[in-house]
Amino acid sequence: MSYQKVQNFKCRCPLIQTGIYGLTESHQIPNIPCDRSSNDVFLNQHLQWYHNFDSVSARKLVRAICNNINQDEHLFSIYERVLKQNISVENYKCKCPLTQDGVFGLSDEHDITNIPCGRAEKEVLCFQHLQFHHNLSSRAAKKIVLALVSYTPTITRLFHHNDHITQSKCAVRKVKSKCPLLSRHIYGLSDHHHVPNIPCDRADQHIFLFHHLTYFHKLNAKAATKLIRALIINQDPCEALFHSNDIIVVSDQTIHNQQYKTKRSKKIIPQQKSYSETILDFSTHYQSLLNAINTSINKTTNDNLDNSMMPLDCSKSNQPSYQLNYPYSTNNMAHAHGLDLNSFLT
């Protein structure tokens, strides 16, 4: 039977009891009797991922079933290893073992959430499930998964009453999820809590929730941690998590200090000049203009007189007139500003 046919072979799982094909309790195969024997499955993958068979033993059993070998045949010896030796804890799937108090020595003193587990009827990624649904630390979750893999009875005491096995604050801050703040009236929130940006317009994205709650919704660290723990334990949003007198938003002074750690220089708007300053600028401008006109006239007339000491007097009729290429005459500009042109010439 080719490898491809083994991979694609589908049938109902035969592991409905121990003793078939020589498989006994000494082989420590998990999930027997199999609760999925009512439906066809890809048997090779099912044996490896649900019953923890190694790849060689899984293919051996699939070929035996394809060849219609009798279940009473001792296909595996009592000393033969059929399970995986190197287990990937993160990828191990099974039903949650926390169906009642006292499992593996767990008690109320450990502050474990959601016991008995409401999802015990479904197969889950056990390592992640124990952390995010039951609030166990990664070390404690790994210990339970390895116990399940090794077929350790649930009555075995893995933990003592003084063991600290719940998640730390650091673990809470690494949680990625969608923002739950879709309404202002969930988890006991109300208008007087003054939580900004509700309803959240980023609720369709998986984000680092702690950073999002503290930065975008301005929750303080205590309130953000409390809300994330409520999500981990799947608390009903209708239950009051915060009370009316709780301060859950960082103060305005804190926000102000964060926003203005680096002060921006303000743009300096020049003040309007006084009337006297305006007149002085005007006179300076037009005195320069008149000096330029005087120089031009001296060059044109080739006057032998020393005109450097004689100011230009535009009021004398005996002086020749000149057409200047300016849009407005000098006299018109002076009179337009209410000035006496002769006052600049004397």
| Same domain, residue pair 159 and 203 | no
Q: Which residues contact 140 (CB under 8 A, 6 or more apart)?
A: 130, 159, 163, 165, 166
Quick one: pLDDT band at residue 144, thresholds 50, 70, 90? very high
Average per-residue pLDDT for the chain: 75
| Same domain, residue pair 178 and 255 | yes
State the average pLDDT over residues 289-308: 51
285 in a domain, yes or no? no
| Same domain, residue pair 177 and 162 | no
| Same domain, residue pair 116 and 129 | yes
**Last-in-domain residue among 259, 281, 316:** 259
Quick one: pLDDT band at residue 169, thresholds 50, 70, 90? low
324 in a domain, yes or no? no
280 in a domain, yes or no? no
- Taking CA atoms, 113 is separated from 79, 116, 232, 238, in Å, by 40, 9, 9, 18
- Please state whether the peptide bond connecting residue 14 to the residue before it is cis, i.e. omega within 30 degrees of 0: no
74 in a domain, yes or no? no
What confidence score (pLDDT) does residue 109 get? 74
State the average pLDDT over residues 148-168: 80
Q: How many domains does the chain have?
A: 3
pLDDT higher at 336 or 89:
89
Q: Of 220, 216, 189, which is closest to residue 205 (Cα–Cα)?
A: 216
Q: How many CB atoms lie within 10 A of CB 1?
A: 11
The rounded percent of the chain whose pLDDT value lies above 90 is: 8
What confidence score (pLDDT) does residue 262 get? 42
Q: Residues 266-287: pLDDT tens digits? A: 444 444 445 455 445 545 545 5
| Same domain, residue pair 215 and 203 | yes
pLDDT higher at 66 or 166:
66
**Last-in-domain residue among 140, 167, 194:** 167
**Last-in-domain residue among 149, 167, 185:** 167
pTM of structure: 0.38
| Same domain, residue pair 176 and 161 | no
Q: Of 140, 52, 50, 149, which is closest to residue 104 (Cα–Cα)?
A: 140
Q: Residues 223-257: pLDDT tens digits? A: 888 888 788 767 788 888 888 888 899 875 454 45
**pLDDT of 176 higher than 70:** yes
- Determine the 3-state secondary structure of 253 from DSSP: helix
Element (H, E) at 296: helix 275-301
| Same domain, residue pair 163 and 198 | no
**pLDDT of 89 higher than 70:** yes
| Same domain, residue pair 176 and 254 | yes
143 in a domain, yes or no? yes
Quick one: pLDDT band at residue 212, thresholds 50, 70, 90? very high
What confidence score (pLDDT) does residue 236 get? 83
What confidence score (pLDDT) does residue 340 get? 54
| Same domain, residue pair 246 and 212 | yes
274 in a domain, yes or no? no
| Same domain, residue pair 9 and 56 | yes
What confidence score (pLDDT) does residue 171 get? 63
320 in a domain, yes or no? no
| From 9-13, 41-45, 53-57, 291-295, the region with the lowest mean pLDDT | 291-295
Ramachandran sector of residue 135 (left: φ over 0; alpha: ψ -120 to 50; beta: rest): left
Quick one: pLDDT band at residue 335, thresholds 50, 70, 90? low
Cα 282 to Cα 154: distance, rounded to the nearest angstrom: 99
Cα 172 to Cα 72: distance, rounded to the nearest angstrom: 51
Q: Of 48, 182, 46, 157, which is closest to residue 107 (Cα–Cα)?
A: 157
326 in a domain, yes or no? no
| Same domain, residue pair 15 and 40 | yes
Element (H, E) at 129: helix 126-132
What confidence score (pLDDT) does residue 111 get? 72
Cα 229 to Cα 167: distance, rounded to the nearest angstrom: 10
**pLDDT of 323 higher than 50:** no
State the average pLDDT over residues 101-115: 82
- DSSP classification of residue 219: B
pLDDT higher at 201 or 168:
201
Dihedral sign for Cα atoms in the order 170, 173, 177, 183 = positive
Cα 241 to Cα 309: distance, rounded to the nearest angstrom: 94
| Same domain, residue pair 148 and 193 | no
Quick one: pLDDT band at residue 117, thresholds 50, 70, 90? confident
Q: Residues 56-67: pLDDT tens digits? A: 999 999 999 998
The pair of structure tokens assigned to 333 is: 């500009």
Quick one: pLDDT band at residue 217, thresholds 50, 70, 90? very high
Domain assignment of residue 34, given as a range: 3-66
Q: Of 54, 59, 46, which is closest to residue 15 (Cα–Cα)?
A: 46
The pair of structure tokens assigned to 239 is: 């239950």
Cα 228 to Cα 244: distance, rounded to the nearest angstrom: 19
Burial (CB count <10 Å: 0-12, 13-18, 19+), residue 113: middle
What is the end-to-end Cα distance of the chain in Å, rounded?
121
Q: Which residues contact 115 (CB under 8 A, 6 or more apart)?
A: 98, 100, 101, 103, 106, 134
